Structure 1
């Protein structure tokens, strides 16, 4: 069965900060089922963000929030508990993939976050960029070293586009991750430059999404993220939804639908 379709709110961050409720309402109207928050809790506070998500008939898939580790851990957990987030997603820094030793040190922070989150009934998910795949040590990608070091409670949110940019085949990565991958960022584009790529609606770029999303896995949510666009954002989201849902790759939502299971 296809996974549900959501939107990473970074895609519409400017619009949401100007009109939170209206933006979420438009996403629901386009047929999206859920959202992953980014940059909204800090701006509006967790209570208002949660009310707006619920009022739009959307599901909170996950929250993009810093790993709850170190001195600020409890504050991160408090905010996201009030938001109602069950999965907190974040990344390590690019330089933490410069050596196997750096990967291990970074993993310690993620594992601390997983331990703290578990005590509050939440889970951590790791979101990749491209260095995890482009850096190779003794024939093994840094991403594989990282997965070896991570606590088994840490879930995976795979950014398939950045995996491709790092030299990996997204479908093969999803197959190897199996049940561990619960969320996938769905984006498309030319896959030329990490810093400068302009994204395009899903299905109009380089990734064979029909192949990647057909791989058996634990994915619960397909989350569209389009960071840089040359066309209207909502038009790009409409075309992305129509491609994914129209081809049966993802399952959309409808206004007033009962909340779906979270990741």
Structure 2
């Protein structure tokens, strides 16, 4: 039998232990990382990228997905300068979008530079954001793309990086008994190539993200989270204001294998940072 005095003493010690080491508390929950694709701010970021990064950090974002690498720079910043700004604002960049059309054609020379840039930024994912239309006209084209992705994925893996592909809606066009997207997933090595699911484009392409999670569990390590405007499906809106059921989608996150949630919005009906703040708050509640 535990005496009342001993019970109080033991309980008090337990509470002290929890306050010292909150990781042991049953009620503590580690904050999920939440990122943003900087393409969302493509109209303004080149004007003052340092200010943009600072404002995003102030909203609460802690991960940045890059785009726009050209001639050794991002929006006028060298790779080293960008890394410095990320560090200054307690931001990391686990992923970046880089042009992959040359490697699809069989030219891997430029890809070596991309790997070097990604490593300097400590990026873990190199993402091919799209495929030029002239390179994806047939089923055989998609089979060739999958083959090149496997080759590039192997090169990435040797550098400690994972190759990923970001979809739009064109990949869901039927080709005989399949779609371009299915061809890519079914013909790439899951140990070499993963996928960044753009949920908006999946829905706009007439497909259900959850069904894809269930059909290809673990293949979607990154998500692009953006909502579809209720009145005009060609437009985005703040997360929670559109017609995509993100609560249900987030309830199925585990089966998808997702590790990084990345907000993207391609158009705004209110000031950009007011909109991004609303989406951030809604996503934080979902997480």
Task: Give the TM-score normalised by structure 2.
Answer: 0.78
How many pairs does the alignment contain?
Answer: 245
Task: Work out which of the residue numbers 33, 38, 56 in structure 1 matches 2:62.
Answer: 33
Measure, in 2, the Cα distance between the counterparts of 1:210 and 1:96: 36
CA contact (8 A) 1:156 1:181 kept: yes
* Counterpart residue number, 1:147: 185
SS of match in other structure, 1:126: strand
Instruction: Look up the match of 1:206.
Output: 243
Structure 2 unaligned blocks of 5 or more: 1-28
- 1:26-105, aligned counterparts within 5 Å? 26-39=55-68, 41-43=73-75, 44-67=77-100, 69=103, 70=107, 71-90=109-128, 91-105=130-144
Q: Distance in 1 between matches of 2:276 and 2:120?
A: 29
Q: 1:236 to 1:174 in 2, by over 3 A?
A: farther
User: In angstroms, what is the RMSD of aligned CA positions?
Assistant: 2.2
Larger radius of gyration: 2
Distance 1:192 1:95, change over 3 A: farther
Distance 1:156 1:114 in 2: 12
Asked if the contact 2:94/2:122 (under 8 Å) is kept, the reply is: no
For structure 1, the 5+ residue unaligned runs are: 251-263
Q: Which residue does 2:204 correspond to in 1?
A: 165
SS in 2 for 1:213: helix
Q: Give the superposition deviation at 1:209.
A: 0.5
Structure 2 match to 1:239 = 278
